Amino acid sequence: MKVVAIYGSARKNGNGAALVERAISNFADKNPELKRYYLSDMDIKSCLGCFACRKKEMCVRKDDMNNLLQDMIESDFVIFSSPVYMYDASGDFRLMINRMYPMIGGEPGRYTKRHPGKKCMIIMTQGAPTIMFRGAGRNIKRIIKSFGFDVFGLVRLGFANEKEAAEKNKSVLRKIDRVCSKVMKSL
């Protein structure tokens, strides 16, 4: 089993990272091959909009995104995580999403998903109450699904500016465990 964990926050010990680690812990007895990607440490350039990926199924830009993309394609489960900044995912996360375009084939208006059925979950944290900025989570979920992922859960944590908010929020921890349990049953 191969699990890819994507950390969209620069805070490696923040609440988003704690929730990703909780999700990973659910797979410990499966002894998964685990790949961790900290987007803030990666060299990911912006999309050129050249459409070369329509033919080659990989981006022509030579940076860290090609390795991440290959690991996503080869994975059994991907954990996407990002804080909400200004009504959207972090800039690093948005940059990654823009470069996931090679996962789609075909031409505009007739797109196909090159790797349908990839399993994932999305974790989003924010300083505001969870009820706010719901649109950010819905938008990210819609985009991730367009790449062919089956989203098993979107988990949101509000008031995440408080240190250790993730560990204190038992309902969010239970939701992560439930999502991971559904994924395990589907494998």
In 3D space, the residue among 126, 61, 125, 135 whose CA is nearest the CA of residue 98 turns out to be 61
Residue 56: predicted pLDDT:
81
CA distances from 11 to 7, 8, 17, 38 (A): 9, 9, 8, 9
**Rounded mean pLDDT, 174-183:** 98
Angle (deg, nearest 10), helices 91-98 and 134-146: 20
Q: What is the pTM of this model?
A: 0.95
Do 73 and 35 touch, CB atoms closer than 8 A?
no
Q: Any idea how long the chain is?
A: 187
Q: What is the pLDDT of residues 33-62, one digit of tens each?
A: 999 999 999 999 999 999 898 888 889 999
**Rounded mean pLDDT, 8-19:** 96
What phi and psi values does residue 12 have, to the nearest 5 degrees? -70, -20
* Chain mean pLDDT for the chain: 94
Residue 109: predicted pLDDT:
79
* CATH number, span 2-186: 3.40.50.360
